[in-house]
Amino acid sequence: RKEVEQDPGPFNVPEGATVAFNCTYSNSASQSFFWYRQDCRKEPKLLMSVYSSGNEDGRFTAQLNRASQYISLLIRDSKLSDSATYLCVVNHPGGYNKLIFGAGTRLAVHP
C-alpha cells in the first residue's frame, strides 16, 4: 500500500464548477499535511497547509480527518488557471522534515 494515495484523475470540469479531491495516508503518526500544486513540467509549489480544524484560502478549502486518515481539497468557482496537478503531501514522522508525496490528481478546467 502506498503511503499517500490519490485518485489520479483527470478531473475535467467547466469553469465555475466546484471540484473536490481526496487523499488517504497510511501513517497515523503523521503530523503535518499539505496540498501542493504542480503545473506541467514545473516544480511543486505549496498551495496550503491542512489543519485539523479545516482551513480556507479564498476559493480553496482543505479538510483533515485524522480518525479516517483522510485529507480533502475543495476548489470552488474553478478558473482556467486552476488547471494543474494537485499533490497531497504528508510528513513522515521520525525526526526530520521528510515529505511523502502522493502521485497527484490532475485537474483540467475548460471554458
Partner 1 sequence: DAMVIQNPRYQVTQFGKPVTLSCSQTLNHNVMYWYQQKSSQAPKLLFHYYDKDFNNEADTPDNFQSRRPNTSFCFLDIRSPGLGDAAMYLCATSSAQGSTDTQYFGPGTRLTVL
Binding site for partner 1 (CB under 8 A): 4, 8, 31-32, 41-46, 49, 87, 91, 93, 95-104
| Shortest separation between residue 55's beta carbon and partner 1, angstroms | 14
C-beta of 81: minimal distance to partner 1 in Å?
19
The answer to whether 93 and 27 are in contact (CB under 8 A) is yes
Sequence letter at residue 11? F
Q: Is 58 exposed, middle or buried (0-12, 13-18, 19+ CB in 10 A)?
A: exposed
Question: What is the rounded end-to-end Cα distance, in angstroms, of the chain?
Answer: 37
Rounded Cα–Cα distance for residues 14 and 43 (Å): 25
Smaller CB separation from partner 1, 98 or 110: 98
Query: What is the smallest separation between the CB atom of 40 and partner 1, expressed in angstroms?
Result: 11
Nearer to partner 1, 89 or 109 (CB): 89
Query: CB-wise, 12 or 31, nearer to partner 1?
Result: 31
Provide the minimum distance between the beta carbon of 16 and partner 1 in the complex, in angstroms, as a whole number. Answer: 28
Cell of 23: 487523499
SS3 of 21, please? Answer: strand
Q: Which is nearer to partner 1, 74 or 103 (CB)?
A: 103
